[in-house]
Amino acid sequence: MKMKIFSYPYMLWLAIFIVVPLILVLLYAVTVTEGGSITFTIENLRRFLDPNYIDVLWISIKLALETTVITLILGYPIGMIIAKEKPSRRNTMILLFVIPMWMNFLLRTYAWLTLLGKNGIINYFITLLGFEPMNLLYNDGAVLLGMVYNFLPFMVLPIYSVLAKIDYSLIEAAEDLGANKYQIFTKVTLPLSVPGIITGITMVFMPAVSTFVISRLLGGGQYMLIGNLIEQQFLWVGDWHFGSAISIIMMIFILIAMAITSKFDTQKEGSSGLW
């Protein structure tokens, strides 16, 4: 109980920077300003039901899901390989994954522009081989590539850290009881790494749904995700009410997704998740 007093500054911080903005967003979402007077309405939310907007939401969720699945498929084996290394080499390998994250997110994405562009390095080699330069940028693939590239470390790190913590004698015990490599993986390693997978999915899916930078840079100006839609409402259209409504809707979808994922986390220390 004594410790409580030390949490007050933190609580205050939470209130100012998280709770208050959230309430403001919620307020904006359910109000309109007409000639200086504010009225409550659900019009903003209703506007979103327009098929065009629903389409954007669907594409965003689909892209985020694809990104999550691909980073998981790539990230799990990577995490496993690193966790199997000697401790001295592990740190180097982890560093290799973390260093790009220290670089600005925009810079990293711009790097792909120079790689994939009309006059980029890949096209240079393609023309060198005698083929026509290809249109690598401004399509779904380029956006997906950028997303996977940017979010992969967020999948690898939690999976790696859970795998590295698995007591090796458990693997030996399984082997002792007759399990081959494949059975050890499905019956021991995989179930024990579920918390890492859940964290990885959370850490990739949430930012992936709301991203707008990657899609704008690699997908071109016309590529519209829900993140771009919100950005557009706030910065260009100036309709903060509709922008807030979209934000709220997106938040609801993220919460639903997290609730579903956490259902798979059957570990006893389950409180590590969001619920």
Partner 1 sequence: MKKNHIIDLKSITKEYDGQTVLDNISFYVRKNEFVTLLGPSGCGKTTTLRIIGGFEQPTEGKVIFEGEDITNLPPYKRQINTVFQKYALFPHMNVYDNIAFGLNIKKLPKDEIKKRVKEMLKLVNLAGFEDRSIQSLSGGQQQRVAIARALVNEPKVLLLDEPLGALDLKLRKEMQTELKNMQKRVGITFIYVTHDQEEALTMSDTIVVMDKGVIQQIGTPVDIYNEPKNAFVAKFIGESNIIDGIMREDFVVEFAGKVFDCIDKGFDKNEEIEVVVRPEDIIITEPEKGQLQGRITSVTFKGVHYEMLCNDGQFVWKIHSTIMKPVGAEVGLCVAPENIHVMKKAMKR
In the complex, the smallest distance separating the C-beta of residue 244 from partner 1, rounded to whole angstroms, is 43
| Residues within window 160-219 making contact with partner 1, judged by CB under 8 A | 167, 169-170, 172-180, 183, 187-188, 191-192
Pick the closer one to partner 1 by CB: 132 or 176: 176
Q: How many residues bind partner 1 (CB under 8 A)?
A: 20
CA distance 165 to 167: 6
Q: Determine the length of the chain.
A: 275
Rg of the chain taking only CA atoms, in angstroms: 23
Residue 32, classed as helix, strand or coil, is strand
Short-list 69, 137, 133, CA closest to 109: 137
Which residue's entry shows tokens 């998280």? Answer: 18
Query: 3-class SS at 34?
Result: strand
Q: If we measure between CA atoms, which residue out of 194, 199, 214, 89 comes closest to residue 154?
A: 199
Outline where DSSP puts E strands in the chain. Answer: 31-34, 37-40
Amino acid identity, position 118: K
At closest approach, how far in Å is the CB of 83 from partner 1?
17
- Please, what is the minimum distance in Å from the beta carbon of residue 179 to partner 1? 5
87: contact with partner 1 by CB under 8 A: no
Of the two residues 46 and 187, which places its CB atom closer to partner 1 in the complex?
A: 187
Q: How far apart are the first and last CA of the chain?
A: 24
Instruction: State in angstroms the smallest separation of the CB of 89 from partner 1.
Output: 17
Q: Which is nearer to partner 1, 46 or 89 (CB)?
A: 89
Q: Per-residue string for binding with partner 1, 212-251, x by CB under 8 A?
A: ----------------------------------------
By the criterion CB under 8 A, which residues form the site for partner 1?
167, 169-170, 172-180, 183, 187-188, 191-192, 266-268
